[in-house]
Structure 1
Amino acid sequence: MTIKISTERAEHINAITLLTEAAFQNEEHSSHTEQFIVNALRDSGQLTISLVAVDGASIVGHVAVSPVTISSGDTGWYGLGPISVSPERQGQGIGSQLMKAALKELQHLGTTGCVVLGNPAYYGRFGFKAHPGLILPGVPQEYFQATSFGSKIPCGDVKFHEAFNATE
């Protein structure tokens, strides 16, 4: 298995949609709208980073990164997700490769930091952890995590783009 991580291209969009839908189909803590979120981010020009994991001719993973706002006024922060791996390829390190590539790209862009909503055991492996003053309203504190690229972690409420409300 030789996985190549590359930037999304126009011909990948349909495969990304299908992959994202399949990846979240059986997830208990999912809105099952993740594929619509990715498309809405793209359509609104808010998909800052969109990377695909390719094995041969098949797209087996995808990660989206978009800007977030923080009530404190701190800037340069981004939200990672959704991140998707084809169900039959989960547990093979593809998600880890996508995470590392996305975080590296964010650092290359000179961003301040990144937030993520998800399993602390998984995302903690990439330097994410919960911070008491950084809140995603309505979400248990331990599942909303952040990592900074050299600056302090801000305090305030985080808001993802309106695209995260997409339902179709």
Structure 2
Amino acid sequence: MNHKIVIRPETPADAAAISDVTVAAFATLEISQHTEQFVIEALRAAGALTLSLVAELDGRVVGHIAFSPVGMQDGTPDWFGLGPVSVLPELQRQGIGKALIFEGLARLQELGAKGCCLVGHPEYYRQFGFENPQGLAHEGVPPEVFFVRSFDGHVPQGMASFHEAFMTSGPAA
């Protein structure tokens, strides 16, 4: 890729482009319920989009990553969930998603986060320091696709609970 990718916080004007990128990125994924764009909208509406970054190429939004608070059964504070992360299909496998994840994790740490968790592809997220945790789970999620990355060495125990927006199945009423 010859053009420079700019990663920046989302603005209100980016909402439609973020939705379009998210729909396109997940359109052919068989494991997707195709509700990711609605999850982002619900997180935004609930004020639970702690960190939302876009990747811009030549002034056009081509990628997006969201981080939102995660509740821990043992009461450990300041943990966040990564996801969804999206890149336009024609620009995937060119480092945009990686750049969004690395930048997002760095900014999350600057905000004082203690750690981050996600549900994702087992081979992909290890490169960012994510591991399958011992003693921490997410209900209904197979352990091999649930990952954490602790920023302070402590991994919470029990169950992790993502924001209720992740249960969204359609557009806000």
User: TM-score per shorter chain, which class?
Assistant: over 0.9
How many residues matched?
168
State percent identity of aligned pairs: 47
Q: What residue is the counterpart of 2:122 in the other structure?
A: 120
**1:10 CA displacement:** 0.9
The AA in structure 2 aligned to 1:38 is I
Task: Return 5+ residue gaps in structure 2 as ranges.
Answer: none
TM-score w.r.t. the length of structure 1 is 0.98
Corresponding residue for 1:27? Answer: 29
The 3-state SS of whatever aligns with 1:99 is helix
Report 1:85-104 matches (<5 A).
85-104=87-106
Aligned equivalent of 2:67: 65
1:49 and 1:28 mapped to 2: Cα distance? 27
Partner of 1:17: 19
**Cα distance in 1 between the residues matched to 2:14 and 2:82:** 19
CA RMSD for the aligned pairs?
A: 0.7
SS in 2 for 1:107: helix
Provide the rounded CA distance (Å) in 1 between the counterparts of 2:169 and 2:19.
13
TM-score, length basis structure 2: 0.95
1:129-148 alignment runs, 5 A limit:
129-148=131-150
Unaligned runs of 5+ in 1: none
What is the distance in 2 between the residues matched to 1:29 and 1:118?
Answer: 10
Name the CA distance, whole Å, in 2 between partners of 1:54 and 1:2.
8
Q: 1:132–1:141: 8 Å Cα contact kept in structure 2? A: no
AA at the equivalent of 1:163: A
